[in-house]
Chain A
Amino acid sequence: MSVARYFDEMSYGPAPEADGEARAWLKRYESGFGHFIGGKFVQPAAGVHFDAMDPATGKKLGRVAQGDAADVDAAVAAARKAQGPWAKLPGHARARHLYALARAVQRHARLFAVIEALDNGKPVRETRDIDVPLVARHFYYHAGWAQLQATELADQVPVGVVGQIIPWNFPLLMLAWKVAPALAFGNTVVLKPAEFTPLTALLFAEIAAAAGLPAGVLNVVTGDGSTGAAIVGHSGVDKIAFTGSSEVGKLIRAQTAGSGKSLTLELGGKSPFIVFDDADIDGAIEGVVDAIWFNQGQVCCAGSRLLVQEGIADKFHARLKRRMSNLRVGNPLDKAIDMGAIVAPVQLERIKSLVATGVAEGAELFQPEIDLPAGGCFYPPTLLAHVQTAATVAREEIFGPVLVSMTFRTPDEAVMLANNTRYGLSASIWSETIGLALDIAPKLQAGVVWINATNLFDAAVGFGGYRESGYGREGGKEGAYEYLKPKAWVGRKARVAAELPEAQEKVAGFDLPDLDRTAKLFVGGKQARPDGNYSRAVLSPKGVRLGEVGEGNRKDIRNAVAAARGAEGWSKATSHNRAQILYYMAENLSARADEFAGRVAAMTGASKAKSAAEVEASVGRLFAYGAWADKFEGSVHAPPLRGVALAMNEPIGVVGIVCPDEAPLLSFISLLAPVIAMGNRAVIVPSERHPLAATDFYQVLETSDVPAGVVNIVTGAAKDLAKTLADHDDVDAIWAFSTKEIATLAEKLSVGNLKRVLTDHGLLTDWFDQTAAEGPILLRHAVQVKNIWIPYGE
């Protein structure tokens, strides 16, 4: 086209990014990439390769190794060999390595950006301006943590060998989010990049080796789902960190149940984008562009559900449609586009089919009349308006450039609609009224909330979900703990169940009999008879019948969970208020110390002194959590923007707790107190063998102003009750400190709603040891961190 014609039309014309360097790099590996194991590229054991494709053209980019069990074995072995020496390096040495990686990423920034755009199909603008700079930032930030680890995280040790499985939507960035913290804290890594997008991980491995990263610290095994499954199932892996679909996340949770592997899952979302009538509408519309047309909408935290206040809905939609008509879809290497290609034909088909479903279910479809490149996987920016809450497209993650919209009338209704999803990854709030925006943010079930912004990321700010969007955080100090474990929990021994005593027949005499006490269940603030109306005997170690407790069943758990769900006010109570009540519980327990000591002694056969010490420790523990209630605070992150990110510790919700038999009062208190101190409501199953201290505890609860439903106690067979709790989709977390079997079952059954699971894997905790059983070590699991981004300025 001539200058004169451009002058008349004022169109943009092509603006291709050069890909010569990237093609030359691909050419070097023309014969086929290997895995990166033990510091060098090795060909796959079975000699199988698959093709890496350019989604914008459908052309082959290279041949990539298909990893199998033998390859994974070799990678895990290399990682295991390196882990000890790597962890033993002084933090400063690891910091230097991470710093070198950050610098190396910056030196090769454009090569990474171009290869990423070719492999994934996203615009080179995004890889160049967003992905790669964030990658470097992540390594810099975590170099800092390596430097500070010894002083700032002295009570923690590395987890060990970490298996990391990352998705195709941000191939290199997700590598950085996984690899940087893992390495910083002394772990070694076996990473599997996504089948569709393995190239930048291989380039990274090459560059890391050149930057002097010791052999075996980072291993990259490429392949498909079966390769990932081999990593997940490998007994030599201590932790799995996964980012991807909720479906696969659930499979991984089930597969790793009982293995002792720790797990972080960063899964899907259906995140709300809420626009109030006092928003900067044009600003919010640009927000929508960044929310759902960033990376072709293939973003787990995409703001895919637009909620607009009814009064401005027509104006908003009209302007949005106009804006959509200005979007440019083109070759990923074109520097003048907004959207590139969808990652693969299968994803394109999924998007098409979901949009068709949306239309069939009544949505109003809008797609601007803009040009799409011929061939390749392209899909236009799409709006499905007037979508109802029941519609498939309102509930299922589309993972494409498709926005669904609905309206709301009031702030309450906005919150209700926003939370009407099983996901909880992110949310965006648009309002120029500070009081409104800051009121809504804590009410949203989402791990990340952006106020008047969207899709902001930084290494200093934790990222991760609520609900079925997964658990664990990446970034910030909150993310550090995902790659560490408490020193105090290392070396715990397996819990051994004491022999069951033979029940002694008691021959009644003519003395004045003890006054009968019936221990019931404690549900919704009331003592309740068990639904089945059966009881179970509680025996002393010698087999003397000490009393009977209710035999709780499924329905009792159901009722207890309902009561806990209803006690939502506790989560909103002030921390001062919760502290007062915990202190009051301590006061009332202390007043009856002798009685409880007698009870503990009778149940466990412990000496009088030991039993008294257990009660004293329990009183102390309640005091400790009274103290923590208003001190286990969040933090204010300082990401590189004019604004702040508030990392708030929020209660998880309803927590099921299964208590062990040892120290039946102290373990009960040690697990209950952190849960309620942070504003959760508990359904607690006391020691199956020694439940009477817990049933006696009702009266402490009743006299301590604990609101109804905050603590619910269900006695009975721990395994059956644990099963119902783990299965229950309205239970948000389960803490299983009991047998290995119950721990496994809790992990396995938690997949229904991906409840957070904390277990001791059947290992014995010393409840008298404050470092192992009190404070942040448990409090961290009683909260979930919500990061609220607040850019500001006038």
Chain B
Amino acid sequence: MADLKIAPIGGHAAQANHVLAGHNAIARNVAQPLDLGWVQGVRVNLSAAERRVATLPGRRTVKKDAQAAWLLKAITCIDLTTLNGDDTTERVKRLCAKAKAPVRADLLEALGMADRGLTTGAICVYHRFVAIAVEALAGSGIPVAAVSTGFPAGLIPHDLKLKEIEASVKDGAQEIDIVITREHVLTGNWQALYDEMRDFRAACGQAHVKAILATGDLKTLRNVARASLVCMMAGADFIKTSTGKESVNATLAVTLIMIRMIREYQERTGFKIGYKPAGGISAAKDVLNYQFLMKEELGREWLEPNLFRIGASSLLADIERQLEHHVTGRYSAYNRHAAG
């Protein structure tokens, strides 16, 4: 562990809000040799995993002020995302504005949170819009994440993937969300997956890399667990469920297995890897369950944006409505909150 580098992911100003001393400062993952014995030794029982996630919402809940706080925390973890074929410069700018001011000022005031400089965790766009987003977010400290490596299918030539990463980093992306080649997992070619991931990490340089497993394509939790381990061994800073384009995106069961692998990786190597569920988390009550799972399985530390992100586009709007309800006692409407 000679080359431990202290590099908080993102590093934007909002992180000053995190009062737990020093918890932003985590050692960046250092790639490990591919340990096939470890990968093959993984055991996952689907029914047991399903029972765990099915009972969790009954075991943990937050109400009133606690709920408002947890939802505000969730906002700080959102990678506010637009990944559509009709994205344009102005669309991205609007999203960036929302990232800087995700909640109406009067609500933050009422919640006693006006002084926290609350922002989303990042903005997540295609490479084409990285520079625009970086400019729009200048001075806010909000990092820009770029999806990359032939997102979402990940089937462009390997050298082009590396070039795409480099281009986004050059444009100012501080985070790169790569997609893995699913074939490597589906055929059990762990060496190829490891090599690919190691190259992606190298191409990212100082930018943090999130490995998108496309869990909906991998089908089994065993595949998910093994792919998670291999990507972490190859240097991923975050592991992420989905592109949002697969037929099944983030689920609590997949989350459970991925974060258990994060825990196991930490047990063995000491490195803390971040987790990002993406796709399908659009309701405030859903995001709370993800937060409970993070806290229960990984601990308090994994509720902060340096170790937890949520890839979402419409979640924020629902949280805003819930926060307004908390403040006023009346149910809110979307049109009362600025569109993102």
A interface list, Cβ under 8 A from B: 1-8, 10-15, 125, 128-129, 278-284, 286-287, 290, 326, 328, 335-338, 430, 432, 452-453, 641-643, 791-794
Contact = CB atoms under 8 A, between A and B. Distances in A.
B55 to A, nearest CB: 7
Contacts of B220: 794
A8 B46 CA distance: 34
B58 A4 contact: no
A122 to B, nearest CB: 13
Tell me which of B43, B116, B221 has the highest count of chain A C-beta atoms within 10 A of its own C-beta. B43
Interface in B23-70: 43-52, 55, 58-66, 68-70
B73 A7 contact: yes
A101 to B, nearest CB: 25
19 contacts: A3-B72, A4-B116, A7-B72, A7-B73, A8-B19, A14-B63, A125-B59, A280-B43, A280-B45, A283-B44, A286-B48, A286-B52, A290-B51, A453-B48, A642-B47, A793-B46, A793-B47, A793-B50, A794-B46
A792 B46 CA distance: 7
Nearest to A794: B220
A13 B60 CA distance: 10
A3 B112 contact: yes
Nearest 4 A-B pairs (CB), nearest first? A283-B48, A6-B69, A13-B66, A791-B47
Contact of B295 (A8, A10, A281): A10
A534 B222 CA distance: 70
Contact of A10 (B52, B68, B113, B303): B303
Interface in B205-240: 220-222
B202 interface: no
Contacts of A286: 48, 51-52
B51 to A, nearest CB: 7
Given A3-B65, A287-B48, A282 B260 contact: yes
**B interface: dominant SS:** helix
B111 interface: yes
Interface of B: 19-20, 43-52, 55, 58-66, 68-70, 72-73, 111-113, 116, 220-222, 260, 295-296, 300, 303
Given A3-B111, A7-B113, A335-B58, A12 B66 contact: yes
Contact of B73 (A10, A430, A794): A10
A48 B115 CA distance: 64
Contact of B113 (A3, A13, A279, A791): A3
B111 A794 contact: no
Nearest to B63: A15
A107 B220 CA distance: 39
B120 to A, nearest CB: 15
Contacts of B50: 793
Contacts of B58: 125, 128-129, 335
A10 B19 CA distance: 11
Tell me which of B44, B45, B66 has the highest count of chain A C-beta atoms within 10 A of its own C-beta. B45
B76 to A, nearest CB: 9
A15 B61 contact: yes
A12 B60 CA distance: 8
Contact of B62 (A12, A128, A432): A12
Contact of A3 (B20, B68, B260, B300): B68
A335 B61 contact: yes
B111 A643 contact: no
Given A2-B65, A282-B260, A336-B62, A10 B45 contact: no
Nearest to B256: A282
B300 A280 contact: no
B43 A432 contact: yes
Nearest to A790: B47
A7 B69 contact: yes
Contacts of A11: 66
Tell me which of A7, A326, A337, A453 has the highest count of chain B C-beta atoms within 10 A of its own C-beta. A7
Given A3-B112, A6-B70, A452 B47 contact: yes
A239 to B, nearest CB: 36
A289 to B, nearest CB: 9
Contact of A13 (B48, B55, B62): B62
A624 B47 CA distance: 43
B293 to A, nearest CB: 11
B47 A792 contact: yes
B160 to A, nearest CB: 35
Nearest to A315: B267
A644 B295 CA distance: 33
Contacts of A641: 47
A336 B69 contact: no
B113 A4 contact: yes
A791 B51 CA distance: 11
Contact of B47 (A128, A284, A453): A453
Nearest to B264: A282
A14 B195 CA distance: 48
B65 A6 contact: yes
B49 A283 contact: yes
Contacts of B48: 280, 283-284, 286-287, 452-453
Contacts of A430: 45
A11 B295 CA distance: 9
A290 B56 CA distance: 12
A217 B72 CA distance: 56
Contacts of A335: 58, 61
Contacts of B43: 278-281, 283, 432
A1 B52 contact: no
Given A286-B48, A794-B220, A2 B63 contact: no
Contacts of B49: 280, 283
A520 B20 CA distance: 86
Tell me which of B20, B61, B220 has the highest count of chain A C-beta atoms within 10 A of its own C-beta. B61
Nearest to A641: B47
B224 to A, nearest CB: 11
A423 B70 CA distance: 47
Nearest to B115: A4
Contacts of A281: 43
Nearest to B221: A794
Contacts of B45: 279-280, 283, 430, 432, 452
A4 B18 CA distance: 11
B36 to A, nearest CB: 17
A6 B66 contact: yes
Given A641-B47, A792-B46, A794-B221, 13 more contacts: A4-B116, A6-B68, A6-B69, A10-B69, A10-B300, A125-B59, A290-B51, A336-B62, A432-B45, A643-B47, A793-B46, A793-B47, A794-B222
A12 B73 CA distance: 13
A278 B43 CA distance: 7
Nearest to A12: B62
A282 B48 CA distance: 9
B61 A336 contact: yes
Nearest to A2: B112
A340 to B, nearest CB: 12
B16 to A, nearest CB: 12
Nearest to A125: B58
B18 to A, nearest CB: 8
Contacts of B47: 452-453, 641-643, 791-793
A290 B55 CA distance: 10
A748 to B, nearest CB: 44
A128 B58 CA distance: 9
A466 B101 CA distance: 65
Nearest to A327: B59
B110 to A, nearest CB: 9
A284 B51 CA distance: 11
Tell me which of B47, B73, B303 has the highest count of chain A C-beta atoms within 10 A of its own C-beta. B47
A430 B48 CA distance: 10
A432 B48 CA distance: 11
Contacts of B52: 283, 286
A398 to B, nearest CB: 23
